[in-house]
Structure 1
Amino acid sequence: MSVWAPDSVQRHWHGVAVARPGMLALVIALTGSARSVVTDWWWLGALALVALAAAISERILPRTRVRVAAEMALASIIVGLGLPEAYLALPYLLVPAFAAGLAGSIMGTAVTTLTGAIGLAIGNVLAGGNLIELPTFGSVSVWVVIIFATGAIGAWVLRLDSIQIADGGRYAAAYRLLSELRVVSRRLSVGLDPGTLAEGLLDHVAGPLSVRRAALLVRREGGNLFPLAHRGEDDGWLLGAERDPVVLEAWSSETPAWTPNGRRGYRVVLPLRVGSRTMGVIVADVPDQVSSDELQMLVGSTDEGALRLETALLFDEVRELATREERRRLAREIHDGIAQELTSLGYLVDDLIARTTDADAKSLSTTLRQELTRILSNLRHSIFDLRSDLDHDGGLGTSLSAYARQVGAQAGLKVHLVHQEEHDRLRPEVEAELLRIGQEAITNVRKHAKAKNLWVTVSVSPPNAQIRVVDDGMGMREQPRGRYGLEIMAERARRVGATLVIEDRPESGTVVDVSLGNAHGEG
């Protein structure tokens, strides 16, 4: 829980404790100012005793609706006994009403208000009066409504504090977990890279099972399974794995399953368990049948590795969310900061051009304005790049195609798209890195190539993928070497185990080819 939210609730109750004698003093002052019409003062003393008893009970008894309702009942009966002269004591009933709101829900406030109304009626009947025929009935009714409104305010304050407590508690819990994760991740022997951990799990089962080919599958958003690591030849044998009855059986039962696999031997599915749930499966084709006891022992030996892998995947998700938020923050900072300043500076240069009569000054001002326009254009493109993100429904190909069309429209490029993407998806962090590589390649065409045509080819067949960006511009030979963007592209490719090739196109222009897995671009 948070530190400050409980203190705020405590302060509200302290406010009630202070308001009680304050409201009693107000009632005494109002009654004293009307002493010409007040002939009986006994009810004022009784009300003071109720206030004293309530203050003492608040210190020794829990803050419950029952205690507050008791204060409301006693105070309202006393006021009812003293009506109509005790009409000036009605403001005191606001104190237990607000306390009732702090002690419970709006329903408790309604019950406490009803208790006050009934108490007024009982007191008046016991005094031999008839509240309905009193001239003050209308005013008393208004006060009942005010009492309920005051209690509702108390309930609203309680609800706000409850929300703040819960929200603050979540932030405190997140802070503790992230702090622990930071400390623990520095001490882990294999780090928090999902690919490395997945490969380690495959190595762990490969020896005992003598696997011919194997893959570790985890579930992503949408329920699809995708391979985090695999070994052996890849001929599409994992397609539709999420619908394989053996995989479904092992996943739901949390126990290993196997089935004959024709001449290939047997297919074994080992669930990866974290606590009481399955977070992934290892699918392996083996030459010989494996006993159930051996499979159970092997599954048990992977539990620790599964926990490590689940932790790494969770860390990747947190990192992705943090990166996405940071990109958006940078986009806002650029838009609201330097972009606005340069726009204002551009207006000043426009005014200078309009006012100056000197030819040299006008020429220099015009050149300055053109340079400001170019810088602003680049800033807008940078903001667009920062805000561009993966289409979680469409995937890598859809996101990069949309980006290419947008950049082509802005830069006057004729864009040619080839988009081949299967239903299965790559890992989110791999998709994100490949998207940034493709965006950087397209941005380089816009900024440096002086091209007329842009060809973008995206092919995704997990665990393989290829992005190919080609232009008909001036090529790499005519451009400055050592650009930082190219180094970033190479670093991103290495991070996900992809191959990046950047070369001149035979006719004219540049070819950027990034391949993951067994996908290879054409020369």
Structure 2
Amino acid sequence: MADEPVLKGHWRLPAFALRTLLFALVATVGWATVGPLQATIWCSILLLASLPAVVSPTHRVLGPAGRLVETSVVILGTLSTGGVPAWLLPYLLVPLAHSAYYAADYVGERRLLDRLFVWEPAFLTSGAVTGLIIVGSTLPAIHYETYFTAVSQAVTIALVAAIAAWWVRRSQSYADEVSPNHPYVEAAALLTQLRAVARQLPGGTLDPGGIATDIVNSVAEVAGTQRIAVLGASAGRRLVVLAQHAAERVDWETSPQLNTLLADAWAGQQPQTGRLPLSRSAGGPVASLVVPLVAEQRTVALVAVESEAIDSFTTEMVQEVQDRTKGMPLRLETALLFEEVRSLATAEERQRLAREIHDGIAQELAMLGYGIDNATAVVPEEATEARGELEDLRAEVTRLVTELRFSLFELRSDVDRQGGLTASIADYARTVASSAGLRVHLSLDEGGARLPASVEAELLRIAQESITNARKHARAQNLWVTCEVDPPYARVEVTDDGQGLSGDQAEGRYGLAIMSERAERIRGSLEIRPHKPHGTTVAVVLHASQRPVGATEAKDEETKQ
């Protein structure tokens, strides 16, 4: 919560009006009872004391301090002017009512300064009553009854006003919460802040893969660390490998349910050491270390480290790994949240475009086709040339409708959170191939570990664009689709036996440029090469240096031959 909480602007004008009204009241009464000089002096002091509470009523320091000073001026002014008449007492309503109103926003807050806001009305009331009792003890006995009657009335009215202010603010908060527009108000404010922050950050700082790689590289400098990975949360019950470092490929365990070190580090938010392997490819005894990356009491990811030196992870080494990851959890969480927001926005925009195309141009093209059919029906049989042109036009409209259906299918396709990337690519390839008369050959290899959702989405879009190009431009008969996923390594390859693509054509194709941008966004490499004896191969590879042993590329190539 910032120093100036939101949703306070609508109270500023009534608060200023109430303060002005009571100030004028006590000034008038003071002028008539204690004389112009005394009234002017103490009203001037009260005016200066009220400035902090007027300018920054919700500030954590200035707001409460200003109201405390106002209360103190009322007590001291009453003492200085003889106690009777108690002309300044009506002004107690202002600080008590305002403190109760602002305190209502901090109910349930856990931070110390926020809890002080909640108890501020009680502090002010007890302080005011104590001060007024002390003032009364200095008065002659003849004035006791008059003075304490006035004090009782003023304090009672102030407390009633404070309770009313508290109730009004809580009612407003409840109305804000149940208002249908409240989520949109909050979302708009948060997105505005996100946009401003994203513009201020230097380039590349909102890339989860880049930040995870920086963490891995930093931890790799610690002596004794041999295999390192950053494991992040996913939509399912498994973790995802955001980045890793090792001399050879490591098959990391990504299920906390099967590894107590991972589960305890995530839940307990404390480093865990032991000899339980963190990977399924450990060839012998290992020393394991799991360091949680915690941001604001939230576990963001885990740093998993393995070493073949059994007693390598001493207390000093664990502390060094923690020191090297300081400041990184919040950066990583910010990047992951930004990536998730962008993915949600992209998915929603694709669905919106699909709806608009279906309800707009697709319907209009269908009506155009019906109109051409009607026109063809009334053209005489002997008008062969006109009928031929109408039939050609009808065929072109049919082709456009088919293309739109493919586009709608592509827009609505997404990675199945249960089936995974390979299942989504396979479903898309089968659907498109069956509609276009292509024979599709699938080679799929995906284990239990998953890639980050944003990476899977980009790989799916690259595969879709490759398959679409083969269907529309290649005039192919066969389509080979290969998908290997072994995080962080992944390879998606689409090959056709069509007419091929020359270098000049490849440079001029907008779709190929989009694929290249997508591959660059996920830190992958895109390769477009001719396929012998004819055709084109489009391949995108992530983390090629960590490719599994015995990969199937050579076998795939033999099959295509």
- Residue 339 of structure 1 aligns with which residue? 362
Counterpart CA distance in 1 for 2:504 and 2:408 is 24
- Look up the match of 1:225: 239
Deviations 1:267-312 (A, max 9, x none): 2211111222322111123456243255246436634210111111
Whether the 8 Å contact between 1:425 and 1:462 is mirrored in structure 2 is: yes
Change in CA separation of 1:292 and 1:301 when aligned onto 2, cut-off 3 Å: same
The aligned amino acid for 1:168 is N
1:270 aligns with 2:284: no
Instruction: Describe how 1:180-191 pairs up with structure 2 within 5 A.
Output: 180-189=193-202, 191=205
Aligned equivalent of 1:421? 446
Contact 1:265–1:289 (8 Å) recurs in 2: no
Percent identity among equivalent residues? 42
Structure 2 Cα separation of the partners of residues 453 and 271 of structure 1: 48
In structure 2, distance between residues paired with 1:255 and 1:370: 67
Distance 1:386 1:210, change over 3 A: same
Give the corresponding residue for 1:11.
none
Letter in 2 for 1:281: L
Is the CA contact (8 Å cut-off) linking 2:237 and 2:255 kept in structure 1? no
CA 1:301/1:420 → structure 2, altered by over 3 Å: closer, same or farther?
closer
Secondary structure at the residue paired with 1:475?
Answer: coil
Q: Hey, what does 2:515 align to over in structure 1?
A: 489
In the other structure, the counterpart of 1:168 is: 181
Matched, 1:239 2:265: no
Equivalent positions of 1:125-204 (< 5 A) are 165-189=178-202, 191-204=205-218
Change (3 A) 1:420 1:208: closer
Please say if 1:381 is aligned against 2:406: yes
Residue 250 of structure 1, CA deviation:
2.1
- 1:171 Cα deviation after fit: 1.6
Moved more, 249-258 or 316-325: 249-258
Displacement of 1:473: 1.9
Task: Name whichever of 183-192 and 283-292 sits farther off.
Answer: 283-292
8 A contact 1:272–1:281 mirrored in 2: yes
Q: Which residue in the other structure is 2:491 paired with?
A: 466
Structure 1 CA distance for aligned equivalents of residues 485 and 421 of structure 2: 8
2: CA distance between counterparts of 1:294 and 1:451?
Answer: 58
Shift of 1:404: 0.7
Structure-1 residue corresponding to 2:543? 517
Q: Is the 8 A contact 1:2 1:165 kept in 2?
A: no
Measure the CA separation in 1 of the matches of 2:460 and 2:186.
Answer: 33
Structure 1 runs not aligned, ≥5 long: 7-157
Contact 1:448 1:479 in 2 (8 A): no
TM-score of the pair, normalised by structure 1: 0.65
Is residue 329 of structure 1 aligned with residue 355 of structure 2? no
Deviation at 1:405, TM superposition (A): 0.9
Tell me by how many angstroms 1:480 deviates: 4.4
Any conservation in 1 of the 2:220–2:245 contact (CA below 8 Å)?
no
- Cα drift, residue 179 of structure 1: 1.1
Checking the alignment, whether the CA contact within 8 Å between 2:240 and 2:254 is kept in structure 1 is: no
Change (3 A) 1:208 1:406: same
Give deviations 1:330-377, integer Å, cap 9, x for gaps: 111111111111211222222222222333222222221111111111
Q: Deviations over 1:116-170 (max 9, x none)?
A: xxxxxxxxxxxxxxxxxxxxxxxxxxxxxxxxxxxxxxxxxx9xx9698344222
Q: 1:269 to 1:341 in 2, by over 3 A?
A: same
Matched pairs, number: 369
Q: Tell me which residue corresponds to 2:460.
A: 435
Residue 306 (structure 1) aligns with: 329
Q: Is the 8 A contact 1:464 1:516 kept in 2?
A: yes
Q: Classify 1:479/1:415 alpha carbon distance in 2 versus 1 (closer, same or farther; 3 Å).
A: farther
Counterparts in 2 of 1:297 and 1:478: CA distance versus 1, 3 Å: closer
What per-residue deviation string (whole Å, max 9, x for no partner) do you get for residues 239-275 of structure 1?
3563222222322221112224797763221111122
Pairs within 5 Å for 1:2-401: 165-189=178-202, 191-209=205-223, 211-240=225-254, 242=256, 243-260=258-275, 266-286=287-307, 289-296=312-319, 298-299=321-322, 302-357=325-380, 358-401=383-426
Amino acid in the other structure paired with 1:499: S
Task: Tell me if 1:457 matches 2:472.
Answer: no
Change (3 A) 1:301 1:213: closer
- The one-letter code sitting in structure 1 at the alignment partner of 2:528 is I
Cα RMSD of the aligned pairs, angstroms, is: 2.8
Q: Which residue of 2 aligns with 1:102?
A: none
